[in-house]
Amino acid sequence: MQDVPPPPYVSPPGSPYPPQVNYQQKARAEGHITLKYGFIAGAIIAVITILIFLLFLIPGISDAVYKTFPQTIPGIYFSLANIITSLLVALLNAPVYFCMGLFASRRTGKLETAMLACLWALLCFLFADICTLIISFFIYLPLETASVIPLTLVDYGISLMVDLFLALVFGFGAAILGAVIGKPNAR
């Protein structure tokens, strides 16, 4: 025989008590809310990341930025321009994390839901960031000499770590702030 859960108790009309909800139904709804807000925010964040990447493919903009900020580590192409670009992306993504935390905690009343949605959004960001770094590597590969390719890979690895660190700091910070503001007051 199959285990069929009992129907939820429905309070009589005019009763001051709210209807009881099955715990499994509530947990399932929270999971759907987490995925929904996480993937919506992740898609928006991925679009922002890709647009910034495309903006820096324009030769005039990338030349101006990389000439303004020189190399910070001799022998490696990682420069202050990479950090500025990562910081710009993180700051543009922070309001998306904030709104995601705000809406997720309003729907469920829990901070955990907002944090799990933030993890899903961060995974989407990480996927978009890795894709843009791979595309960038293959765009600039014909311009590199064979001896410089390992240094370029180190540069992209450092850039990925900086992007991930800033996304974690700004993402979770903004999501927590939004979740705290959006959480209904307990009375």
Interval 45-69: pLDDT, tens: 999 999 998 888 887 777 777 777 6
pLDDT of residue 128: 93
Closest CA to 48 of 83, 86, 92: 92
pLDDT at position 1 over 80: no
pLDDT in tens, 150-184: 767 777 888 889 899 999 999 999 999 999 998 87
pLDDT in tens, 97-131: 999 999 999 888 888 889 999 999 999 999 999 99
| Entry pTM | 0.74
Closest CA to 62 of 88, 90, 81, 86: 81
Closest CA to 81 of 62, 96, 98: 62
pLDDT in tens, 18-27: 555 555 555 5
pLDDT of residue 37: 92
pLDDT at position 187 over 60: no
